[in-house]
Amino acid sequence: MEPYKISIVLPCYKVAQYIERCVNSILAQSFSDYEVIIINDGSPDNLLQVCEQWQKLPNFKILSFPNQGLSQARNEGLAVAQGKYIYFLDPDDYIEKDALSTCYQVLKKTNADAIRFGFKSTEIESGISWTTVPNKNQGLYSNKEIINYYMPKFIGHSLIDIEKENFKTLWQRKEFAGVCLFIYKREILIQNNISFPKGVSLIEDKIFNVKFFCYAQHIEIINQVLYNYLIRPNGLMVGSLRNPRGLIKNKIDGVIEREKLRELYLKEHEINIFDTYHGSLILSAMELCVKLANINYKEGYKGLCHYIDHPIVQKSFQNIPANQFHKFPFKIKIAIFLIKNHLSCLLFTGMYILKRIKKNSFQN
């Protein structure tokens, strides 16, 4: 029997109440040449009981592992997948009925290494929805264009990105990095040992994609909305952003993993990609200062120092060109000056006091 054309990997942890809708969206596809690999990542709910209804289907695999986290759960699925193409679908979301057919027809025609499509986001609590499509008309990115133009939209912010005052619009200049918006050629992943960084959260999709871009020669872009992304108040993304202590690890992971990518691009293309994410290392220090000021002073300041004392973060602050420094917003200039001159205690203390003044004013 020939392998299926598409392998769909569902990494599952505490998603028993959502997975049926997700799987039903797969079963409703007009395209049927696929396999579904459900990875039970030590889920403590009744996930396996819900999955019993699909166990006898010939194109379904249900595998259980001790809890290892989202990244490794996806890696376990990738290890057993046999399809020509791999799709990492989040089990608490769902796809449109013609998603697989639409993508496969383009992949078959073009022999692309991956295809990217649009998505619809919905906030569960408010019911507010909006759609997002790739920042390019239907077409492709090829070889050098992927590295020079497309990859920088994923890895982070440059110093030029943070020169403008309105930081709330920074995200609009970047692409959403979720792997659920791509279908990948498995051959590229296997030959180049591309996997998700185990133990890393929040940026694991970004790291995976940027590593993939290092080897991809052809990525097709279609502006059709094929994915439905449901935003829950207790989801992984939202929950992590509300956890200041967890952000410390996430930010340091981002430093370490980006450095590995920098070394990879130097080796494979003799290109130093540091400038494509230099600004993100600066902004992460600012974000930590603001969010860690919400907790105990000693713990918060220790956490901030843990990040800014990292050698690569120190390098990012010390290597800001003088001709760019004067372009930054005033608040950023002050923060950079204090951190560069080892006065982060003043920066954090000021933010800590400001937070308490605002809190007291609000309560009164």
Residue 12's pLDDT is 98
pLDDT band at 84 (very low <50, low <70, confident <90, very high): very high
* Range of weakest confidence among 166-170, 239-243, 249-253, 258-262: 239-243
Residue 140's pLDDT is 78
pLDDT in tens, 218-256: 999 999 999 999 987 765 444 444 677 788 999 999 999
Question: What's the rounded mean pLDDT across residues 36-58?
Answer: 97
How far is it, in rounded angstroms, from Cα 65 to Cα 72?
10
pLDDT band at 104 (very low <50, low <70, confident <90, very high): very high
Query: Is the predicted pLDDT of residue 133 greater than 50, yes or no?
Result: yes
Give the residue among 185, 110, 179 at the shortest CA–CA distance from 141.
110
- What separation in angstroms does the CA of 278 have from each of 246, 319, 333? 22, 9, 15
pLDDT band at 359 (very low <50, low <70, confident <90, very high): confident
Q: What percent of the chain has pLDDT over 90?
A: 79
Residue 362's pLDDT is 63
Query: Is the predicted pLDDT of residue 138 greater than 80, yes or no?
Result: no
- DSSP helix, strand, coil percent of the chain (3-state; round to 5): 50, 15, 30
Residue 241's pLDDT is 46
Question: What's the rounded mean pLDDT across residues 84-103?
Answer: 97
pLDDT band at 125 (very low <50, low <70, confident <90, very high): confident
Query: Is the predicted pLDDT of residue 364 greater than 60, yes or no?
Result: no
Residue 358's pLDDT is 83
pLDDT in tens, 314-345: 999 999 998 889 889 888 999 999 999 999 99
pLDDT band at 291 (very low <50, low <70, confident <90, very high): very high
pLDDT band at 171 (very low <50, low <70, confident <90, very high): low
How far is it, in rounded angstroms, from Cα 38 to Cα 68?
15
The mean pLDDT of the chain is: 92
Question: What's the rounded mean pLDDT across residues 145-172?
Answer: 82
What domains are there in the chain, each with its CATH number? Answer: 6-134+175-238 (3.90.550.10), 243-363 (no CATH)
Question: What's the rounded mean pLDDT across residues 162-174?
Answer: 66
pLDDT in tens, 3-15: 899 999 999 999 9
Residue ranges of the alpha helices (H) in the chain? 19-27, 47-51, 70-80, 99-110, 143-145, 152-155, 186-191, 204-215, 236-241, 244-269, 274-292, 297-308, 311-318, 322-325, 330-340, 344-363
Better-scored residue on pLDDT, 229 or 125: 229
Residue 48's pLDDT is 97
* Range of weakest confidence among 155-159, 171-175, 350-354: 171-175
Bridge partner list, 227: 95, 119
Give residue for tokens 């505490």: 14
Query: Is the predicted pLDDT of residue 289 greater than 70, yes or no?
Result: yes
Query: Is the predicted pLDDT of residue 300 greater than 90, yes or no?
Result: yes
Residue 137's pLDDT is 58
Amino acid (one-letter) located at 192? N
How far is it, in rounded angstroms, from Cα 227 to Cα 181?
7
Residue 63's Cβ-count burial label (10 Å; 0-12, 13-18, 19+) is middle
